[in-house]
Each structure stands twice: as C-alpha cells, then as structure tokens.
Structure 1
Amino acid sequence: MDILKFDFMVEKREGCGEDSDPLSFSSQDGKFHAVGVFDGMGGAGAAICQSRFGNSHTKAYVASRIVGRVIAQIVADLGKKDITDEYIKEEIKNEFQQEKEKYLSKESGLRSKLVRDYPTTLAFCTIEESDIGKYILTSYWAGDSRNYLWTSEGFYQLSKDDLEGELDPLQNIRNDAAMSNCVCADRKFRINVKRVEVKAPLIVFSATDGCFGYFPTPMHFENVLFSGLKEAKDMKEWKEYVQRKIECVTSDDISMSLLILGSSFEEIKNLFSEREVPGFGNVSAKEREIAELEEELRKKRNELEEVIQEGWNTYKVDYLHYINFNTVSDSSERECEKKSR
C-alpha cells in the first residue's frame, strides 16, 4: 500500500518565515515513519545574525532550521543510535555550539527573561510498526507546537503545551500564556516524550501554533481537517483545502506534516465520514445564529443611516437658516453702523 502523506510550510512574510520546512520521513521498508515541525520564536529571538543561511535572518529563523536538520538526521540514522530525549538535547546543543563558534554575533543588550539565544519549538512524532496492524507512536516536543493522532474513535493531542500555568488548550487560545520551555542555546531545556500504541488505520500529524492557535476552539481546527477530508478526492485536494482554510484565519507562519497509515485514501474517507466532531454541531449552530443576527443588524444599521440622511435633509432647512441666508437688509446694516459711531 502506498504511503499517503502531505506537508506544507507557508510564510506570512515571504523570505522571513520562522517556521522551518516540516519533517516527513518514511523508511524504505515502510515500517518506520516520522512527522515533525519546528517554529522559531520570533519574539524571543528577533536579533539579526550571521549564519549558514545568510546574514539577514533572525536567530529564531536560524534556530528552527538547525533543529529541523538535526532531527531529520537523527530520524534518518535510526538504528545507529536510539532516539532518546537526552540524545536529542546533546545533538542540538552540539549543533548550536558549532553555529556560534563559526558565526560570532554580538550579545543582545536586552536583559529580559523573554530574550533567548536561538529559540525554537520542536514537535515530532515517530511511528514504528510493532505488529500487523499496530503502531507505536512516540511523541517528542518542546514548546507549543503539537503532535496529533486521529482515528475513527477520536482526535487526540499527543503533546502538552509547555506553558506557564495550567491552562487547557481552549483557555490558552483565549489567554495566550507565556511559554515555559523551548529549545534554545543559552538555557536549560527539556524534550518531553510520550508513547502510545494504537491500531491502524490512523492519521498522525505535527503542526505549529499558526495552524491551530487562531481558531475559536480546538473543535474548529478538527472540523477543518474533517470537512476537507470529506470534500477532497485525493491527498492533494485535502492538503489544499486545509492550507487554504488555515491561511484564512491565521496571523502567523504555518507548517504541518501529516501521514496516513493502514488505509487507502478512499477507505479512510469512508471510515471517517461516519464520525462527527464532538460538541461542534451545537457550537456551529449558535455561530450561524449569531452570524444571521449580525447580518440583520448590519442591514438595520444601513437602513438607519438612510433614515438619518432623510431626516437631516428635512431638519437642516430651518436649522441652517441663518447660516445659509443673509436676512439682514443693507439699510439695517448701515443704521447699525451709525449707532455704533
């Protein structure tokens, strides 16, 4: 069976995107796969630096690409070295050190806990066939980019955002909490790991916060994927639908890498067509109701503006009488002048 996958990276400003190219890997025997994304943190790493990628990029831009290449190499070298959180950290730190030694940069004059050296998020997931029809998923992450699992039974987040406070994903959309952990070159960081075993068929994907963070709820994000799957004739159409819908709402760079395992495209369409996004129906109905009320309100405001203009055209005839017309005769003006002398 062919391996079904798609990925995309779209820059909000061409040439300045701080998301790197997504990771999409499959071994030759088709038993090991990986998806991943890396989002340079522009606020914390806004300093311009010299780098292997040129001399006009931010440290956030450089960081996401360095880390993306490190993870791609680690995944490709599977078998030579086990993928552990400590091994990932050491490889990243070594690469950052080489970058800093080769491309010296001025230290930032800013002294803030928000400023970091080469900051980026990391989220990638390896998928290894453990038995016929079963897969072991290992989710790795640092920061607020995410790994997801999607089956006919549910839509699951496989990574917990590294945020200050205990906000759930909906609360974070509304409050935008500060990040408590990310990959960087100047401070300690951790790589979180979570493993699950699931049966095929399944969809696994990684996404940066530009993909999911601008929808009103996590249900809206799933519904975009779900609606696109139902409408698309193939993976290309599905990718284009998802990318277009995300671009309509986001104010950030976006990147995603998605993989289907254990099913053909048609089979997974049929399987997922029987599923509904839990809770979304009532939310969507209320949104339509509000949209209809807002449209009615818009019409009423336009009608009010017309009535205001009609009323003003009548009212201003008397209201502007002494401004628009000279009602004092010349003789009266001369008499007033004599008295004033």
Structure 2
Amino acid sequence: MPDQQVEPPTADAPPAPAAMVWVRDVSGLQSVGVWTERVAGRGEDAEPLIAHHLGTAQGLIAVFDGSGGAGSAPVWQAPDGGTRTGAWVGSRVARLATDCWFHDVVTREQPDTAEQLRDYLDYFHESAPQRRSKIVGKMRRQLPTTLAAVQYHLRDDNELEMQALWAGDSRAYLLHPGSGLHVVTRDHTEEADALALLRSDPPMTNSICADREFTIDATRRTLQLPAVLLTATDGFFGYVHTPAEFEYVLLHTLMRAQSTDEWADLIRRSVQGYTADDASLALVALGYRDFSRLRSDFTQRHADVRKLLGSGTPQATDQPSEIRAWQETTWQAYRVGYETYLPALPEERT
C-alpha cells in the first residue's frame, strides 16, 4: 500500500505527475520504495518491487525502466480509454514475471538462477499485449525494459548471501557506512565509465524484450550484516553531475530524516527536484535494530562525501570547462571505491 501519493489535481488543472513511496520499518529490516513519473499517467518505470519472506528470511528488491525510445508504439488500451506504450507494458510485465519467479523460488524451491528468471520473463511475454509495427529497425523492440534486482538470503551466522541480477542500464548497489556506495552491476552499454555515461547516454546493448534474444546477468557474493542494498533506474543516477552526487542524495536525505517514512519522502522530493525522467528506487537496510542506528552509522560517511564534493558543485553560470574539470576531479577521487564490486567484462570472466 502506498505510504504517500501526490494529491489529485483539481478539475480545471492538468493532471500532476504522480509520486508514491512505500515504507516498512521493523527491527532488523527497514525498506523504502520511491516511484515518480514525469508525465501524469505515462510513467514507463514500473512500481518498484520489494518483497521479504519472513519464514525463510529471503527477500528481493527490483526496479524496471520501460525503454521509451525502443518501445514507443502504443500496444494496450486502458479501461479509461487511454493507450499505453510497449515500454509502459513491458516494465510491468517484467515486474509481474520477476515477482512470480521470486515467489516460486521461496515457496516451490525453483532454481534462483538468471536463466530461470529469463524463462519466466519469456513465459509472461507470450500472453502480454503486443502490437506489431510496420516500422522496423535495429532499435525497435516489443515490450522493452530494463531490470535491476537484488535477491538476498539472511543466514543465522549474521551473514547475508546476495545475488544481483540485471539487464540494461538500471543498477544495483551496496551502500556501506565505511566505504560508501558500490555499484554491483555493469551497464549493458559499449561505454563502461560511469562519468562518461552521464555525459553521453549511449544506447543499450542488451535489454529485456519480447521479440529478440536477451540475457540476464548475475553475480553473487556474501556480506556481513548490517548491510544496505538498493536498486535504481537512471532517473535517479543519470541526472546528477557526478556519481558521488547520487550517494550524497541518499545520505543527505538520511541525515535530515527522523524516521524511515520521512527519509522516503525526502528522497522522493529530492529526485523530483533534479531528474528529467521517470525515477524509481527500492532499498532495504538489513541488520539495523532501528532507524536511529542506521542514520548514526552513516554520519561520518555523509561528512566524507560532502567534503569530497566540496563547495564546487556546478552552478548555472559556470563555464562548461569548469564543470568538466570539477567532474573529473571528484570522479577520480571517488571511482576506486565506487567500482570495488563492479562485475568484470564478459570477456574477462572465467
């Protein structure tokens, strides 16, 4: 159930873009979901997926970003008479398939593999609404969407087993109070450098779709609790000046909040203030007895990132050369930690 939703517009005003947040706060488990859209009723990000099975101590967080350029053709008519694009439908079909996959992993002991998840996606594509277009091309796709997910399992020995799964350019992260934000997925693009990706936004080389082959990449690792895991679409991390600013958004809102509910709302307000896209985020903090402990653990890290960014955050009046120099300086100071768990390139894997 959404914790907060933007008030509906008055009868004589155009519909305002919607935003929702979800919150769960119990001892040892705080979760936050944030979803916003740029155009009312047309947001091509699906609502974030956050699931935790108490009986087996397993969970999943995931986000899905329908690829509007590749899936811009209308494929479905809503009950209100409005049409929805293939990207809009694709992200929601992928969300449903991923939800069912995780349910069966937990309750039916299905394999928790990327290959099994891909099979679920293929199965759900078969019954999803599609419309063949007369316009064809390399970029055209049926029901295209990204996926970034983290599946996790809490163990009795205070360990956390996690698996990141992804397709496209949405990302999964580990947030650590000592070393900060670490990306644990690698964008399916020709460009690998996170700062260069901010500047160029290259096309994806792989994404989920119904009419062509696609892959789901996966990596596994074991962590010690406590841990903070999150997934986000590029509406969150693709409209900042430098990758460190995304971490600063998370930590600055955390420091200002007095509760998990307030943190979620502050994240929502922050992203709506800077993004030019739909944006969704799913986050889970595991092993913290309460929100106060979570916030206090990240106090020093917040100060460190603020110091790294300094007072040189670009302004509208700055020259492009000044902005690029500041970006390069902060990125070089931040990159090593950020890429600590960056998966190897396919050709580098053994």
TM-score in terms of structure 1 length: 0.79
Q: How far 1:282 sits from its partner (Å)?
A: 4.5
In structure 2, the residue matched to 1:87 is 116
The correspondence for 1:77, drawn from 72, 93, 104, is: 104
**Aligned-partner residue type, residue 86 of structure 1:** E
Percent of pairs with identical residues: 31
The answer to whether the Cα contact below 8 Å between 1:35 and 1:205 also exists between their aligned partners in 2 is: yes
Q: Does 1:194 align with 2:219?
A: yes
Q: Where do residues 90-239 of structure 1 align in structure 2 (5 Å cutoff)?
A: 90-99=119-128, 103=129, 105=131, 107-154=132-179, 155-164=181-190, 166-239=191-264
- 1:243-275 CA-partner distances (Å, limit 9, x unpaired): 111111111111111111000211121111122
Q: How far 1:51 sits from its partner (Å)?
A: 6.3
Q: How far 1:50 sits from its partner (Å)?
A: 2.6
* 104 and 123 in structure 1: CA distance in 2 versus 1, 3 angstrom threshold: closer
* 110 and 130 in structure 1: CA distance in 2 versus 1, 3 angstrom threshold: same
Aligned partner of residue 284 in structure 2, secondary structure: strand
Q: Does 1:28 align with 2:54?
A: yes
C-alpha distance in structure 2 between counterparts of 1:48 and 1:278, whole Å: 47
The answer to whether the Cα contact below 8 Å between 1:222 and 1:277 also exists between their aligned partners in 2 is: no
Structure with the higher fraction of residues in helix conformation: 1
* 277 and 156 in structure 1: CA distance in 2 versus 1, 3 angstrom threshold: farther
In our comparison, the structure showing a higher alpha carbon Rg is 1
- 1:78-130 CA-partner distances (Å, limit 9, x unpaired): 2420121111111111111122xxx462x222222111111000111011113
* 239 and 31 in structure 1: CA distance in 2 versus 1, 3 angstrom threshold: same
* 55 and 88 in structure 1: CA distance in 2 versus 1, 3 angstrom threshold: farther
In structure 1, the residue matched to 2:333 is none
Aligned partner of residue 127 in structure 2, secondary structure: helix
Which of 241-250 and 53-62 deviates more?
53-62
Which of 242-251 and 123-132 deviates more?
123-132
C-alpha distance in structure 2 between counterparts of 1:247 and 1:71, whole Å: 27
Q: Does 1:47 align with 2:47?
A: no
In structure 2, the residue matched to 1:60 is 87
Q: How far 1:280 sits from its partner (Å)?
A: 5.1
The answer to whether the Cα contact below 8 Å between 2:259 and 2:291 also exists between their aligned partners in 1 is: yes
- Structure 1 portions without partners, runs of 5+: 295-341
TM-score in terms of structure 2 length: 0.77
State the aligned residue count: 288
C-alpha distance in structure 2 between counterparts of 1:278 and 1:272, whole Å: 10
Aligned partner of residue 156 in structure 1, secondary structure: strand
User: What is the RMSD computed on CA atoms of the aligned residues?
Assistant: 2.1
The answer to whether the Cα contact below 8 Å between 2:253 and 2:263 also exists between their aligned partners in 1 is: yes
